[in-house]
Every structure is written in structure tokens, then in C-alpha cells.
Structure 1
Amino acid sequence: MSDSTTNEKFNVSISILSATARTILSTLLNPPKCIPTKENLQRDWYGLADLLGYSSEEISLFRISSDPTNNILQKWESCEDSIIAKLLCCLQKMDRFDIIADIFDIIISDIALYENSNKAGSNNIDTSLFITIKDYEYHRRGLQPIIYHASILYAPEDVDFAYEIVSHLENKFKMNIFVPERDLIVGIMEKNATMRIIASRCQKLLTILSPAFIESSVNKYFLSFAQSLGVDNSMRKIIPIVYKICDIPIELQPIHKLSYKSAWPGNFYEKLQYSLQKAKCIDTSNSSFKSTASINGGVSAIQSFPKHDNVEILQTIKKPETSGSIPKKKVGVVQKVMTKIGIKKKRSKKKEMVEVAA
């Protein structure tokens, strides 16, 4: 598979890749590979970064990430040459034909989904209504605007802690977190846009409580707004996180709070994760089909994929058997064995008991 012979249908942006494809790429490229290719090219994420031309400084930043492959893909998406054809060529040069085999059918389905969305007229959406940068990204992929697991509210003095929380939730737990300073489009009315996100496009509001937070009138306004939404809709909208000792706002005093410093050892992010899991976020990257990937077993079970041209996507994909279940073909054999061993013994005991009674 070379750049010149690759089918034109793969000349689309990698931004259309689904979460399933990205997860498989990360799972198979993140672990380090000791044996390089004949051209002395690393066969893991390092080799991908090398082929894409990233500098040693950028590679060093990828190395300290919990998911370097995903970070590489996200950074590469903004480049003009970030197409699926080049990604497949890179995997070929790295001798990672195993990855190509695992994700090829999924990529075909992602492209078909993208093309079908374009045919349906999804590109006629009024882009002037977009609020965040990801709105444009999802629009290019033929998807609806993103729904966030949570929005985060903090004081400028606590930005480092806020960044730590966002990085942990997004990289480790694969959650979508709305950060106004990072995600809003430049020039938009920040206050109105943030209120729209909190009201209709995020399930929860994370508030990092500190003396600086309490002193901010803007934060107090957003806090009261979210509290009123929770009361009107009878839902748990606010997740308060006590970062520094401060006077807790009266509207948050009855609510159970998560304290960063006094949390049970190792329990802070676990508790935060479960608190956000109640928010059933819509994964718009796979909104028109259901998928499961059994990566460790090397088997993917994909259901309800759209067909691309004359390609029968589902023919080569088998659903993994549930562990411990007995195949139908073997049921008859098992029954015969039980009849010969178990059941006959029980019947013979009954006959013996009848004979003794007589």
C-alpha cells in the first residue's frame, strides 16, 4: 500500500475516525516494541511520531502522556496531510500489518458513515450557531455537536489543579470536559456561550472551590445558574470539589462535597469518575451504530455497520463467544454424557432403594 496506489476513498481526514478505531490504535501502539523494522524504525507510537515528522521536543511531551498515540492523532488532525491513507501507509512502513487488519473494516465503516452523513445534507447546518472548536471538528466528520460529560468552573489562581483534573478525566477515563478558555471560539460572547453549554450540552458542572473562587462574582453567577437548573429539573447538576479551605457557598452546604486534600488515599479520582458516570454522555463519534471491541482476544464484534458500496463489512467479523457458554453443537454430546454417567447412576440408586423397601 503506497501513497500513489491507495484508494481515493481513504483520502479523508483522520478526524472521522471513531472512538473504536482510536482505542484500538492506542491499545496496540502505546506499548513499547523492542525490535525495530529493517529500516530501524520503531514499531510503536514513537515510530508513528517519527514518520509524521515530530521533533524530539514534541516526542518528549508525547512520552510523558498516558496515551501518546491519541495525543499524536489529535495534534496531527490540524495538519492538511492528516488523512487516513497516510496513516495506513505509516502503519505499513512500521510493519504493523496486524493493526491494519484489526481496524480496516472499522475504517471502512467510519468512511461510509461520513459519506452517508454528507449525502443526508449534514453540511447544510448553520455554522454560525457553533460555540466550540469541537463543533467544527464534529461537523467535518458529519456528526452532531458534541455533548460533554461536564463543564469545569475554577478561579484563574487554580488553573494548574483544573488542568490536572481535566487531563486525568480526558486521558484516563476518555471523558469530554468543557473548558471555556480552551474550547470556546474566539470572539464569541463568553458568558452567554458558557450558559448555553451548561444548560443544554453538559450533564454536570465541576466547581473547584477555593478562596479565589468564592471571591469571583462571575463564578458565583454560573454556580447559581447551575443550581437553579438542577432544582428545576430535579437532578444533581453540581459536583463541588474543595481544593482549598474556604467559606462554602450557602447553596452548596447541603451537598456532599469531594475534598482533594482530605480524600481517602487514592480515592479522589475514582470517586470523581463514578460521580460523572451517572451522566450518560452521548458518544457522537459512534452515534449511528453500536460497537464493541475485544482487543485482547484480537476479535472485534461490530454490529449495525452501514455498508460501503459493495463491501460486505460484517462477513469477516465474528462475535466472540461468552466465556463458559456451551456451543450449540456440543450440547447434544454433553447431554449424552450426562445421560450415560449422571442420570443412569441416579436411576440405579432409586431402583436399589425400591428393591430394599420391597
Structure 2
Amino acid sequence: MTCTGPEVDLWSIPLIALNVTVRKKLGLYLNPKNTVAADWRTVAELMGFSYLEITNYEHAKNPTDEILKNWQTKKSEASVGKLLAILTEAERTDAVEDLRGLIDEDVRKYIEYMNKKDEPPVQVPEVDSCVPRTPERIGLTLADDPDGAPELFDAFICYCKSDFKFVHDMIRELEHTEYKLKLCVFDRDVLPGSCVWTITSELIEKRCKRMVVVVSDEYLDSDACDFQTKFALSLCPGARSKRLIPVVYKPMSKPFPSILRFLTVCDYTRPCTQSWFWVRLARALSLP
């Protein structure tokens, strides 16, 4: 290692540590069909994907990104160290050498974030409270009580700006009806001035029971939605806790994100099931 130091065990660093830039550049190496060097198909095979799965990924716009997304959600051994080992086994040391600096930087940032998250809470003597008073938990949302417990929500809403009208419909149908659910809508509930990624991680992991993902063509192009979805998936691999609920409210021209294909979708686009949509969604969000 160069940035992170020789003591870092890359095999213990989950693949989610690698950000969009590394994934896009890796795609530039592996996506083109190459008769001389190994491409994404060889890498996918070494990752353990079947022939049928690999054949299906051939229709993807960015197959390298697709296999990385699916690998990190389906395979427990998916890590930065394992990825580098696979690229080396596939004799793509050109990609490893070119991306190593970026990978080191992503790993360094990931370790810093995890170390910061694991720091013990700082006690404030003048306030007799059992609630940790760390910067991440003070004044995060509109209703946060600096001297009390942090504000909690039934669900974090993952959306892009173009889908905000539907988010308003969701607020009306789930908060202001008999369901009385409490949604975390970033533009409405989060106070400005703090790091977006830190706030988002805190809300998804510690403040919200579940996350509703509003899937649309615009969602697929959003780096913020991509981060939120991957972070939430890393907390519940295999959908054991039913933590993520994908929602589709309008027809899509782009393929549905493969990273969410193994989850049951709440679909508003079918007229025959629209009358059940809000009931199903509300019931799913009301589960313990």
C-alpha cells in the first residue's frame, strides 16, 4: 500500500469502500471486448458468477459496474483485497497499477470514517443524560432535542430531485393519514451545514428502521442515491431484515438496477394494483 500503509489488510475492507471514480475507470479497462487481455467476463467468472449470469450481464451498459454491485451484495468474500487478487490472477496488472492510488485513497477515507464512527461518545458533565452527545447526533434534524434523545424515523426516503413530487405524495399518504408514519425526507428534515455523507450514513444506520428507494431513470444517474442504496445494502446483506423497499411510480426506459432485483418491488405503474400500493407500503414500513 502507498496511502493507507502496509499494515492495512485489504482483504478485510468491503468492496463498498470503492467509490464511483474507481468503478468507472475499472470499467474503461474491462468493458471493451479484448482478444488479447482478459475482460469483465473473465473477472466475473473468477468472482464465482455462473455462465448464465455472465451472459445476462452482456446486455448491461456497464457490465463491470453491474458485476461489482452484485458481487458485493451476494458474495460474503467480496473485498478490495479479493478484487485486486482476481485482477492479478486475470493478468490485468495494468488496471491494478493505474488504479492503485485511487483505491488507496478510497480505503483510507473508508477507514477514517469507520474509526470516527466507532469512537466512544464524549460525555458532557453539565447534562445528566444517557444519550451520547457526539457531533453526529446533535442538531442533525429539525426536531432533534440537544438535551434529549435523537429524532427517529420509520423510513429514510432515497430519491432524486426530479422525483420530489412523488415524495410529496408519499408524505401525504403515509404521514397525514391513519398510518401516522414518520418519514425522513432529506430536503425537509435535515439541517444544513454538515457533511452530506456523514449525515446520510448516520440517518440510515441509526435513525431509520427502513429505507424506501424511489427508483426511476433519474435515480440511476444519481451518485447520492447510489451511495445511499449501497450503504443500506451493506447493513442488511441478503435482505434479511427487509430494510430496503424499492418503489417504482412511473415507467422506466432504462433497465431496473440489478443491485435491487432480488428485492420485492412496490409497483405503482400497474393500474390494476394501484389501489393496494399505499396499504402494502405502509404495512411494510410498520413492521418491527
**TM-score where L is the length of structure 1:** 0.41
**TM-score where L is the length of structure 2:** 0.50
